[in-house]
Amino acid sequence: MFSSPFRTALVLGSTLVCLLVAGKPSLYAQNRSLKQCSETIRTARQAATDRNQPHQFPSLTLFSPASQKLEQSYLEWSDCVKGQKAPVSAFKTMTGESYDTAALAGKVVVINFWFMSCAPCRAEMPALNKLVDEYRGKDVLFFGFTPDKTDRLKPEFFEKTPFNFNIVADAQRLADSFAITGYPTTYVVDGQGIIQQAWIGVDSRFGPLDPYYKAKAAIDNLLGATGK
């Protein structure tokens, strides 16, 4: 059993999302455009929340008005962030590789925000691993940003839950720069650093390979455009 310093709440509808519930409100990006994209989701969540238990969703069902409003907010968020510049700064993976915007230029970059105790995050990892296998040797890079500290990310966790992305630990600052509102959140970014595809959570309507197909369509389109 792997514990986490974060408490989590599941948004139950067709999309499963983990929220990080820490002692202080999340910081939001200086990039006002990404922050504004996230406000629709925050508003929909507030409308669905029990005011006496602000991190619980006691009556949220698949076809409830609140659930449908949340689903719509996720679609609106995705449309909003597409075309935005991905606010990626310099970072280092757990294996010691350093990256910055110059190193990522010209590459298709798949970014997944996750954390250890997030069940939806773990549920989509096999589909994401399939992407890594399929695009090995191509101009595609895969990064998994987690707020978990390096010393908590033991080999035993990855033996039990394989995740083949390049892992970047202690990445709360990067999550803040993207104005992350829930986990997992995934982006496909083009060679110019522009977000071309994005989604939040795991959509239970479309099966376990849904993250694979969403990312694959965007990756193939971008690779086709560059001829690589």
Classify residue 179: in a domain, yes or no: yes
* Strand ranges for 36-165 from DSSP E: 91-92, 98-99, 108-113, 140-145
pLDDT at residue number 33: 82
Tell me whether residue 2 is in a domain: no
Contacts for 32-38: CB closer than 8 Å, 24+ residues apart:
33/84, 34/81, 34/84, 34/87, 34/177, 34/178, 34/179, 35/179, 36/80, 37/77, 37/80, 37/81, 37/84, 37/179, 38/77, 38/179, 38/180, 38/181
Between 101 and 204, the more confident residue is: 101
The total of structural domains in the chain comes to 1
Residue 214 lies in a domain: yes
The residue range of the domain holding 40 is 7-226
Which CATH number characterizes residue 68's domain?
3.40.30.10
Q: What pLDDT does residue 73 have?
A: 85
Q: What is the pLDDT of residues 60-114, one digit of tens each?
A: 555 567 677 778 888 899 999 999 999 998 999 999 999 999 999 999 999 999 9
Residue 1 lies in a domain: no
Per the domain annotation, does 134 fall within a domain? yes
